[in-house]
Structure 1
Amino acid sequence: MAASILSDETCELGEGPTYDPATDTLCWFDILASRMLEKKLSGGQTRIHQLDEMASAIATIDGERQLLLTETGLHVRDATTGKLKLHMSVEAANAGTRSNDARVHPCGALWFGTMGKKAEAGAGAIYWFFRGELRLLFPAISIPNSICFSPDGKTAYYTDTAVNLLYRLDCDADTGLPLGEPKLFVDRRGDRGGIDGSVVDRDGVLWNASWGGGRVDAYAPDGKLVRSVPVPAVQTSCPAFVGHAADRMVVTSAAEGMSAKARRADPHAGKTFLLDIQVNGRHEPNVLI
C-alpha cells in the first residue's frame, strides 16, 4: 500500500481535512453524518464531535477560536468547549444547499463553496469572506472543489467537479479577490476520477484527490501531471499537509453511494490515510474574520 490508515473511522463523506501544527491535530468532517473528527498525528483515538447540522471545513482564527463552515453559514467555535456562535449566515434560508470545499488564502481571506444536498445542477456557488465582508464570486456551481492558492497568493484554483475542468486565475495577494477571468488549467473530462479537493505546496505543485480514481495527482504550475500516488480507497476526497514541517500528506475518502458489493470490494472506503511520501508542504494560514 502507498498509504497507511491514520484513522479507521469510516466516513460516509469524509472531507475538509485541516491540520493545526500548534496542537499536532488533524480535523476533518463526515459531512452527511454531521460529524467533526479530530486526531493527534502522533497517535491516540479519533475523537468524534456530533454536530447539529452538516459542516465541511474548519480554519483557525487564533489559539482559542476556530471558524466552522456549515450548511447555514460561518460559525465561531470555541476550541476548548466546542461551543458554536453564528458569525455570518450564508444561504441559511435555503434548506436545499450545504457547504462544501473551502481554503484560506495566504492573506487570511476564506474562499468556500456551497452546493445542493443532492448535487443539483447549478445549485451552489463559491464565496469570498474577509474581515467581516462576504462576496459572491462564482454562481451556478454544481459541486465546488479544489479551492486552493499558490504560496504567494497571486494564483487561485477551483473546479466544478460535475464538469471536471480545473481552473486557475490571477488573484490579489493582499485581499484574495480574483483578478480577471478564470483560465483552463487541467482538463479531466472523460477521465476516470473527478477533480475533488486540492492543496498547493511550497513549490507551487497542486495535489488533487481523484474522486473515483483512488489516487492523489500532482500537477506542476504549468498544468503538467508530474506524479500520481495510489490510495487504498476509490473515492478519495481531499488532501492536507500535516506534521510540524508540513512534509507529510493525509487524504480523506468516502463510502457515499456505494452498493454493498462495491463496499466489499473497497473495504477501506471512508477511512483517512497518511500517504507514504514526503512533500514540501505548508501550513494553512489563520482566517481573518
Structure 2
Amino acid sequence: MRIEVLVDVKTTLGEGPLWDVEEQRLYWIDSFDGRVFRCTADGREVRAWDVPQKIGSMCLRKPGGAVVSLARGFHLLDFTTGEVTPIHDPEPDRPNNRLNDGKVDRQGRFIAGSMDTQEEGPNGALYRLDPDLKVTRLDSGIVVSNGPCWSPDGGTFYFTDTWSGEISAYDYDQRTGTVANKRAFCTRPKTDGGGFDGATVDAEGCVWSAHVYVGKLVRYRPDGSVDRVIEMPVRKVTSVMFGGPDLDVLFVTSMAKPPLPRFPGDGVLRGSLFAIHGLGVRGMPEARFAG
C-alpha cells in the first residue's frame, strides 16, 4: 500500500471526491471556499469552478454539467459558462442549516442531507432530488448529514449522522427511492474526538468510512465488523472514493482548517487530496443524475 499527495491545494474543507468513469476525471470540492475542482487520475490538468455559496456535495448530470448542493438549496452548475441556477431550497426557514453530503442512486436520483452549521442541534434532514427536480424529505432529526452510499445491489442505503457514533443502514426501495427499517450498521467510540464522515462502498460490498479528526479510514465488512484500518498522515480526513482507470485507487479528501475552534489542527499536508494505491480492492462506478 502506498499513500501519496495527489494535489496539494490546501482546501479549507475538502470534501466529496467523485470519480467519473465517462470522463476519466476526478472531481472534489472545497465546502467552505465554494469551489469545485477537477483533475486527472494522476493529479494533472487541475481545473476549478467557483460557486456563490458554501457547497456540501455535487453530482454529475447525464446531459452534462452538475447538480450542486449549496448552503441554500440545490442548484445546477454549467461547466462551460460557470453559471449556477437555483433548483429548490428545501429549508428556507432554517438559516442556520446548510446542505451537506450527497450521492446519486442507481436510478439517477440525488440523495443529500442538511446539517446544523454549529454541529449541535438535530435540525437537519435527508432529501431526495428526483430527475424531474422534485424534492422529497426522507428522514429528519439529523445534526450532520454524511456518508450516503449504497450496497452493490442498491437495496441497502448507508448514511451517518456524524456525531451519533454510528453508521445507519436502511432498506432502500429502488422503485420509489424511499427508505425504511433504519438500524445500526456499525458504531465507533464517541470519546476520542472523532466522527464518521464521508463513505463509499467497494465492489465486495464493504463500506469505507473516513473518521474525521482522528485520521483514520476504516473498511467495514457487510456485517458491520471491522476489516482493516488505515492511518492517514493528517487527522482531518473527510471523504473517500475509488477511481482511476481500474477503479482501484482510493482518493481521500482532507481539510486545512477545522470549521469550529474545538476541533484539532494538522501539519503541512493539511487540506491535501490523497491517493492510496495497492489496496487490492476495486470500487463501484458512480451513477450520474438522470435529470
Instruction: Give the alignment's TM-score, normalised by structure 1.
Output: 0.92
Structure 1 counterpart of 2:223, which letter? D
Structure 1 counterpart of 2:144, which letter? I
Number of corresponding residues:
285
1:201 aligns with 2:197: no
Per-residue CA deviations over 1:27-48 (Å, capped at 9, x if unaligned) read 1111111122222223325323
Task: Indicate the residue corresponding to 1:287 in structure 2.
Answer: 289
1:82 aligns with 2:82: yes
Query: Structure 2: any 5+ residue segments left out of the alignment?
Result: none
Which whole-Å CA distance do the structure 2 matches of 1:175 and 1:199 have between them?
22
Task: Indicate the residue corresponding to 1:111 in structure 2.
Answer: 111
Which whole-Å CA distance do the structure 2 matches of 1:273 and 1:212 have between them?
16
Q: CA deviation at 1:49?
A: 2.2
Structure 2 counterpart of 1:91, which letter? E
Task: Indicate the residue corresponding to 1:52 in structure 2.
Answer: 52
Task: Indicate the residue corresponding to 1:139 in structure 2.
Answer: 140
User: Do the aligned partners of residues 22 and 184 (structure 1) sit closer, same or farther apart at CA in structure 2, a change above 3 Å counting?
Assistant: same
Which whole-Å CA distance do the structure 1 matches of 2:16 and 2:186 have between them?
22
Which whole-Å CA distance do the structure 2 matches of 1:245 and 1:133 have between them?
35
Q: CA deviation at 1:2?
A: 4.2
Task: Indicate the residue corresponding to 2:96 in structure 1.
Answer: 96
Contact 2:6–2:42 (8 Å) recurs in 1: no
Structure 2 counterpart of 1:182, which letter? K
Task: Indicate the residue corresponding to 1:274 in structure 2.
Answer: 275
Task: Indicate the residue corresponding to 1:253 in structure 2.
Answer: 254
Which whole-Å CA distance do the structure 2 matches of 1:46 and 1:95 have between them?
33
- List structure 1 runs of 4+ shifted beyond 4 angstroms: none
Provide the secondary structure at the position in 1 that maps to 2:120: coil
Q: CA deviation at 1:124?
A: 1.2
Provide the secondary structure at the position in 2 that maps to 1:19: strand
Query: Structure 1: any 5+ residue segments left out of the alignment?
Result: none
Task: Indicate the residue corresponding to 1:220 in structure 2.
Answer: 221
Structure 2 counterpart of 1:189, which letter? P
Per-residue CA deviations over 1:240-281 (Å, capped at 9, x if unaligned) read 11112212110101133388xx64x52211111001324220
Structure 2 counterpart of 1:155, which letter? T
User: Do the aligned partners of residues 105 and 169 (structure 1) sit closer, same or farther apart at CA in structure 2, a change above 3 Å counting?
Assistant: same
- Write out aligned runs for 1:60-71 (5 A): 60-71=60-71
Contact 2:50–2:82 (8 Å) recurs in 1: no
Contact 1:65–1:77 (8 Å) recurs in 2: yes
Task: Indicate the residue corresponding to 1:129 in structure 2.
Answer: 129
Contact 1:169–1:183 (8 Å) recurs in 2: yes
Which whole-Å CA distance do the structure 2 matches of 1:178 and 1:148 have between them?
13
Task: Indicate the residue corresponding to 1:151 in structure 2.
Answer: 152
Which whole-Å CA distance do the structure 1 matches of 2:62 and 2:152 have between them?
21
Contact 2:26–2:39 (8 Å) recurs in 1: yes
Which whole-Å CA distance do the structure 2 matches of 1:208 and 1:59 have between them?
19
Which whole-Å CA distance do the structure 1 matches of 2:79 and 2:67 have between them?
10
Q: CA RMSD in A?
A: 1.9
Q: CA deviation at 1:115?
A: 1.0
Q: CA deviation at 1:93?
A: 4.9
Provide the secondary structure at the position in 2 that maps to 1:162: helix
Per-residue CA deviations over 1:214-251 (Å, capped at 9, x if unaligned) read 12110010001001122211011000111122121101
Which whole-Å CA distance do the structure 2 matches of 1:241 and 1:175 have between them?
27
